[in-house]
Each structure stands twice: as C-alpha cells, then as structure tokens.
C-alpha cells in the first residue's frame, strides 16, 4: 500500500525551476547522485567503526550505475548507510538548510535564479532535469525492512514498503524522451570520469570500474590536472560549474603530526557568508575515513568560506565530535592550516594584486573578523588586510600606507564611513587632503570592532579623524592656501560667534569648537576623544538598542565665507538661529545621521533659497 505526500513548498519551487530551466549542463545530475552515494558510503564506513556488524557480509563499498535501454531507465545504487522511511520523507521531500530555504522563497524565474541555485546546488532534485519519474528504494544499514519513494517531480511523492535484499539505496530514473544520451554506456563512462574520478570508492558502469578509486587528495600534486581539482571542488562544495576555485591549496604536513589538506577559496560569495554561525565547508577525514564536516575549531570563523578536505593520519578514529572540538591536536592543525592559508593569501596580495582585489572585495570583511578575535594570527592578518584610502582607486596595505607617510607624520589616520563614496565626501578629510596626508577608509562594520582593540601597527597608532581634536601633524600644506598668521586672525574674529552658537545649539550638540580639519566646508560633526566613533554609535543603536548619551561636537571653519557672514549677524537675529540649525543639519546629512526635524529643515532651507534667489 502506498501513501501520497505533498512536497514542502520550497521543494516544489526548486523542482519547478529545475524541470523547466533550459539547462545545458544537465549531465551534472549524475554527479549529484554519485556524490550522494559516496556520502552514504562515507557515513556507513564511519558508523561501522563503532558498529562493525553494520557491514554484514557486504564489506566492499561501491557505487554501481546500470541502464536498461528498452525500459529507458537508469539506476544508481550504493551499499551505503541507506534511509529509513522517515529519512526518505525528510531528505527527499523537504529542504533542511535554512539559508537555502530562504533563498528559494525569494526566487523568481530566469537565468539569474539559476545562477543563484548554482551556489548551493540542486543535489538530488537534479534528477528531475532528465527524468519524469524517479524511484528511490532504500534499506537502512542494520534494518530489515526497506522503503520506496516515488515521484514525478510535480506536487508530491508516494511512500510504500517493499522488499530489498541488499543494504543501501537504489535510485532509478525513468528518463525523459529527450534524455536518451544517458542510455549510452560510453556517454555514462565519460560523465563519471569527468566529474567523479576523484571519489575514493569504486564506481562501475554496467559492471566495469571506471574511476581511479583513490581519494584525490592522496594523489601526488603532479598527477592532478586543473580540471580534476575543479571537479573535486564542485564535489566537496556542492557548487555548480559556474563557480570555480579562486585558490587551490594542496599540501601534506609531515613531522609531529601528519595530515593532508586540499583546500579551496571559492570565486563566488556564498549567500550566507556574513552569518557568523555559518559553518565552514571543510570535511575532516581520518585515514581516508570521513568523520565530520564543519567541525568547530578546525577552521577559524574568519576563514569560513574555505571548502575542502583535511585528512589526518594521527587522530583516533572513534572519537566524538565534542572531543574533537577540544582536541589539542585539532587546535594545532587548525593553527598550522590558518597560517598556511594566510601565507598563500599574502603571496597573492603581493604578486597578483588585481586577483587579490577580486577576492578581498568579497571576503575581506570576513577575513578582518580575525583582527578582532584571532590574536594569534593578528600580525599576519595585518599584512594581508587591504583598505581603500584617499590615495587612489586601488587598495593599500598597512605597510604600503606607512611607506607613503609624510615627513613628520606619526600616526595611521583613518575615517570610518558607510562606504568609500561617502568617505570621499567627508568634510573631515579636507585638511588631510590639503596636506597630502593619506587617510584609510574603514567602511566595513567589523572595522568598528577591531580598531578599538588594535592600538597600533608597527608602533604607529591608529587615529580616527572624526574623533577628538584634529591633532593634524606638522606637515606643510601642499596647496599653501593660508598662512598661520591669517589663520589665527580668523580664529579670534570667530570667538563671539562661537559663544552664540553654543547657546543656540546647546540642546543639540555637546560643544561647538573651531576646526583644524576643515578647509572648504563650513562645519562638520566629530565625536569626543573619549567616545566611540559616530558611526559606531549609530551601529550600536541599531544592533543593541544602545542609546548614545553623548552628543557630538560641532566644528566650525572660521575661514569659511558663510561663517564670516554669520559673525556679523546680531545675537537675537532669527536668521542666525536658522542658519545655525541649517548648518547642523547639513553636517548630519553628510555624516549619515538622521535629522531630528526634517520639516523644520525644509522650512529653513526654502527660506534660504528664496532669500538667495531674491537677492540674486
């Protein structure tokens, strides 16, 4: 007797996209099924460490592909872990990964969405690209009963009990009319060779073994082609063909403890990259036996975009995940792996800055998390990190910055802003620009967290240019706009105005001061030295509901024509008041701060425009 079940909505959505997309690479369905079969064998081998009886009389783990040209069926079988009735229903009727589910929920039709799917792979459901009916029979290792799952890939699936003599899973595809090529032995062999050669289990097509049968990472580097690395990357990452490895690292560590690593940095950004809880994509093997994936402590969170395999020769096989996480041997491996990856990134950054730029623009914000929480790697991370700055379109390293420091400059200056464009327009930059002093742009959220902890780099302090007194270094102005004497004169003239502004804006700002950092703008906002940066305050307010008690400081440019005009207005003049508020709001807008009273701002602005027009 068979029961009918509905697919979860997102599965229906995925199947709809998969079956209707004009997809040229549909041969990858076989890669997906073989890859699942290999996973099932891996899991059985692992389970058999603790329970050897699971292997029963059938210890030779393998994958078989067979076809029947008459019946137009293609079957992929494995003698792996198998699935229970519940597992069939859960694994093949729902999508478990929350990120994938959310991504699917917001997805429409078309090429762009197909690309998005490429990021997480369609897995088992790829079978419906070539089949109009799929039958899955499975017997769980250690169980006697077997179950059958069957679906036409439309609205749901049927579950029924059945007889199966052997352990594991058999997936039978009833091929569509236009999929006859997958009934040709040579074609099937070619696909297996192309995508699955690296799999460490025997794969047979019509009874004949077609793959090398040894794990790719154990083979010598010189025997592995770029194509093979790429296919292996697709296998471990589940990514589709459009994503290629940006960096491939394959090495064997010998000595106190031995392990082999084959790691990849992806070219495309995973959709859930910025979620710090996202597990990394590195699988841990012990002597070719798959143990677990995404183990905490093996790869630091700031490298969570890594994919691949680490295979240890020394870890004990029967060890729980919890024990692994706190194992000193795993910690040592982790630190060696991290160093190796950072070495490679540093080399890329130095030798191929163009390529590194591509990487950094996607993964830089994540790597910088290490500056905040990976003390042991901080020195190396400082060598890898790159920043936008006032000096040009290309990224600069901290060493590069120090190399271009002006004579008499002691500190590393930075400006915190939402994005490089906003940073460029900051009035606080003016005096630095005028003196030709480079300012780094800190535009990632994480910058607000690591900078306060990182006192200095190579003895140079990090100084925010929007916090505290300007403390401009004694560097001669490049444009020589002004002489010191004239500067002092204008400052003295502005003192009475300063007092009046303090009075007018006393509820709005903490203080009004004369600016050292402004050249072309009349005013700007800064944070007091003792406070966190303005942008950090905004961030805390948003993320932690933190209410900044401290008000900002308004700096005015005594040499600016608007300020000079204001000096001549009398104390009780409405125009002085309106102008003061207008300037404050203007500074807020540039800072990305919300206006307290937009209606008032508009009223004052219109009035000013009107006056200007009438005067002109």
What's the longest Cα–Cα distance across the chain? 101
Task: Write down the least CB distance from residue 28 to ligand ADP, Å.
Answer: 12
Task: Write down the least CB distance from residue 240 to ligand ADP, Å.
Answer: 12
Partner whose binding site includes residue 48, from ligand ADP, Mg ion, none (CB under 5 to 8 Å by kind): none
Task: Write down the least CB distance from residue 557 to ligand ADP, Å.
Answer: 59
Task: Write down the least CB distance from residue 150 to Mg ion, Å.
Answer: 19
Task: Write down the least CB distance from residue 393 to ligand ADP, Å.
Answer: 40
Task: State which residue, 36 or 211, has the beta carbon closest to Mg ion.
Answer: 36
Q: How far apart are the first and last CA of the chain?
A: 90
Task: Write down the least CB distance from residue 321 to ligand ADP, Å.
Answer: 17
Task: State which residue, 149 or 359, has the beta carbon closest to ligand ADP.
Answer: 149
Task: Write down the least CB distance from residue 92 to ligand ADP, Å.
Answer: 6
Distance CA 371, CA 447 (A): 9
Span near Mg ion by CB under 5 A; candidates 119-127, 254-262, 378-386, 496-504: 119-127
Residue 123 is a binding residue for Mg ion (CB under 5 A): yes
Task: State which residue, 309 or 470, has the beta carbon closest to Mg ion.
Answer: 309
Alpha-carbon torsion 452, 456, 457, 460, what sign? positive
Distance CA 117, CA 114 (A): 5
Task: State which residue, 36 or 151, has the beta carbon closest to Mg ion.
Answer: 36
Binding track, positions 285-304, relative to Mg ion; x by CB under 5 A: --------------------
Task: Write down the least CB distance from residue 54 to Mg ion, Å.
Answer: 22
Residue 36 is a binding residue for Mg ion (CB under 5 A): yes
Partner whose binding site includes residue 169, from Mg ion, ligand ADP, none (CB under 5 to 8 Å by kind): ligand ADP
Partner whose binding site includes residue 357, from Mg ion, ligand ADP, none (CB under 5 to 8 Å by kind): none
φ, ψ (nearest 5 deg) of residue 488: -65, -40
Partner whose binding site includes residue 40, from ligand ADP, Mg ion, none (CB under 5 to 8 Å by kind): ligand ADP
Please work out, in degrees rounded to the nearest 5, the angle formed at the alpha carbon of residue 502 by the alpha carbons of 499 and 507: 160
Partner whose binding site includes residue 444, from ligand ADP, Mg ion, none (CB under 5 to 8 Å by kind): none
Per DSSP, which regions of 140-257 are E strands? 146-151, 156-162, 168-175, 202-205, 208-209, 245-253
How would you label 293-310 residue by residue, b for 16+ Cβ within 10 Å and e otherwise? bebbebbbbbbbbbbbbb
Distance CA 593, CA 534 (A): 9
Task: State which residue, 39 or 152, has the beta carbon closest to ligand ADP.
Answer: 39
Task: State which residue, 78 or 197, has the beta carbon closest to ligand ADP.
Answer: 78
Partner whose binding site includes residue 91, from Mg ion, ligand ADP, none (CB under 5 to 8 Å by kind): ligand ADP
Query: Which positions lie near ligand ADP, rule CB under 6 A?
Result: 32, 36-37, 40, 78, 80-81, 83, 91-92, 123-124, 169, 238
Task: State which residue, 93 or 436, has the beta carbon closest to ligand ADP.
Answer: 93
Task: Write down the least CB distance from residue 124 to Mg ion, Å.
Answer: 6
- Percent helix, strand, coil in the chain, to 5, is 45, 20, 35
Task: Report long-range pairs for 557-561 (Cβ below 8 Å, ≥24 apart).
Answer: 557/515, 557/518, 557/519, 557/521, 557/522, 557/523, 558/490, 558/491, 558/493, 558/494, 558/514, 558/515, 559/482, 559/486, 559/487, 559/490, 560/518, 560/520, 560/521, 560/522
594, containing H or E segment = none
Task: State which residue, 83 or 501, has the beta carbon closest to ligand ADP.
Answer: 83
Partner whose binding site includes residue 301, from ligand ADP, Mg ion, none (CB under 5 to 8 Å by kind): none
Task: Write down the least CB distance from residue 468 to ligand ADP, Å.
Answer: 52
Partner whose binding site includes residue 274, from ligand ADP, Mg ion, none (CB under 5 to 8 Å by kind): none
DSSP character string of 46-102? HHHHH-GGGGTT----EEEEEEETTTTEEEEEE-SS---HHHHHHHTTS---HHHHH
Partner whose binding site includes residue 80, from Mg ion, ligand ADP, none (CB under 5 to 8 Å by kind): ligand ADP
Task: State which residue, 95 or 439, has the beta carbon closest to Mg ion.
Answer: 95
Partner whose binding site includes residue 78, from ligand ADP, Mg ion, none (CB under 5 to 8 Å by kind): ligand ADP
Task: State which residue, 36 or 515, has the beta carbon closest to ligand ADP.
Answer: 36
DSSP character string of 479-534? S----HHHHHHHHHHHHHHHHHHHHHTTTT-SEEEE-SS-SS-SEEEEB-TTSPPH
Residue 266 is a binding residue for Mg ion (CB under 5 A): no
Estimate the crossing angle of helix 111-120 against helix 9-20, to 10 degrees: 120
Task: State which residue, 239 or 527, has the beta carbon closest to Mg ion.
Answer: 239
Estimate the crossing angle of helix 328-351 against helix 353-367, to 10 degrees: 140
Task: Write down the least CB distance from residue 86 to ligand ADP, Å.
Answer: 11
Q: Are 515 and 471 in contact (CB under 8 A)?
A: no
Span near Mg ion by CB under 5 A; candidates 30-38, 229-237, 466-474, 539-547: 30-38
| DSSP code for 598 | H
Residue 312 is a binding residue for Mg ion (CB under 5 A): no
Task: Write down the least CB distance from residue 47 to ligand ADP, Å.
Answer: 12
Q: Are 28 and 241 in contact (CB under 8 A)?
A: yes
Distance CA 494, CA 609 (A): 25
Task: State which residue, 35 or 327, has the beta carbon closest to Mg ion.
Answer: 35
Please work out, in degrees rounded to the nearest 5, the angle formed at the alpha carbon of residue 89 by the alpha carbons of 84 and 91: 85
Rule CB under 5 A: which residues touch Mg ion?
Answer: 36, 123
């Amino acid at each position: 007797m068979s029961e009918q079940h509905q697919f979860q909505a997102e599965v229906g959505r995925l199947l709809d996209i998969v079956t209707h997309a004009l997809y040229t690479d549909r041969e990858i369905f076989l890669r997906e099924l073989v890859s699942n079969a290999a996973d099932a064998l891996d899991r059985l081998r692992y389970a058999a460490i603790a329970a050897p009886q699971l292997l029963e009389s059938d210890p030779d783990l393998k994958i078989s592909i067979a076809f029947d040209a008459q019946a137009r069926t293609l079957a992929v079988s494995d003698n792996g872990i198998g699935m229970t009735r519940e597992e069939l229903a859960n694994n093949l009727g729902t999508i478990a990964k929350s990120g994938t589910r959310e991504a699917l929920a917001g997805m429409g039709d078309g090429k762009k969405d197909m690309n998005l799917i490429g990021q997480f792979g369609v897995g088992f459901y790829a079978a419906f690209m070539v089949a109009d009916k799929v039958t899955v029979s499975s017997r769980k290792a250690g169980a006697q009963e077997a179950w059958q799952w069957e679906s036409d890939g439309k609205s749901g699936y049927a579950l029924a009990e059945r007889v199966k003599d052997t352990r594991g899973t058999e997936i039978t595809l009833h091929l569509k009319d236009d999929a006859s090529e997958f009934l040709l032995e040579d074609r099937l062999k070619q696909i297996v060779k192309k995508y699955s050669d690296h799999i460490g289990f025997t794969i047979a097509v019509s009874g004949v073994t077609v793959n090398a049968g040894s794990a790719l990472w154990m083979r010598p580097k010189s025997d592995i082609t770029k194509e093979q690395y790429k296919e292996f990357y697709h296998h471990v990452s589940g990514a589709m063909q459009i994503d290629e490895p940006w960096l491939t690292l394959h090495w064997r560590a010998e000595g106190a403890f031995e392990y082999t690593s084959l790691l990849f940095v992806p070219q495309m950004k995973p959709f859930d990259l910025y979620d710090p809880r996202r597990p990394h994509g590195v699988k841990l093997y012990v002597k070719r036996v798959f143990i677990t994936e995404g183990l905490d402590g093996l790869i630091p969170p700031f490298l969570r975009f890594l994919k691949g395999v680490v295979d240890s020769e020394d870890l004990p096989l029967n060890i729980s995940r919890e024990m692994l996480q706190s194992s000193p041997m795993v910690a040592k491996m982790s630190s060696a792996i991290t160093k190796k990856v950072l070495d490679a990134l540093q080399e890329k950054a130095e030798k191929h800055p163009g390529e590194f730029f591509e990487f950094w623009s996607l993964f830089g914000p994540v790597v910088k998390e290490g500056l905040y929480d990976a003390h042991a790697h901080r020195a190396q991370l400082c060598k890898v990190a790159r920043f936008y700055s006032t000096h040009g379109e290309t990224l600069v390293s901290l060493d590069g910055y120090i190399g271009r420091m002006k004579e008499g400059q002691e500190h590393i200056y930075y400006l915190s802003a939402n994005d490089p464009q906003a940073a460029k327009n900051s009035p606080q930059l003016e005096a630095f620009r005028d003196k030709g002093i480079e300012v780094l742009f800190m535009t990632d959220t994480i910058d607000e967290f690591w900078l306060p902890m990182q006192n200095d780099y190579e003895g140079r302090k990090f100084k925010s240019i929007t916090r505290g007194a300007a403390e401009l270094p004694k560097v001669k102005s490049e444009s020589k706009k002004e002489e010191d004497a004239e500067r002092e004169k204008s400052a003295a003239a502005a003192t009475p105005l300063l007092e009046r502004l303090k009075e007018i804006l006393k509820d709005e700002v903490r203080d009004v001061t004369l600016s050292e950092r402004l050249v072309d703008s009349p005013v700007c906002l800064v944070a007091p030295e003792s406070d966190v940066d303005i942008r950090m305050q905004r961030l805390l307010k948003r993320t932690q509901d933190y209410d900044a008690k401290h008000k900002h400081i308004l700096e005015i440019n005594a040499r600016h024509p608007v300020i000079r005009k204001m000096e001549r207005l009398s104390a009780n003049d409405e125009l002085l008041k309106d102008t003061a508020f207008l300037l404050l709001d203007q500074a807020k807008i540039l800072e990305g701060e919300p206006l307290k009273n937009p209606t008032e701002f508009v009223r004052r602005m219109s009035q000013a425009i009107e006056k200007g027009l009438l005067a002109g």
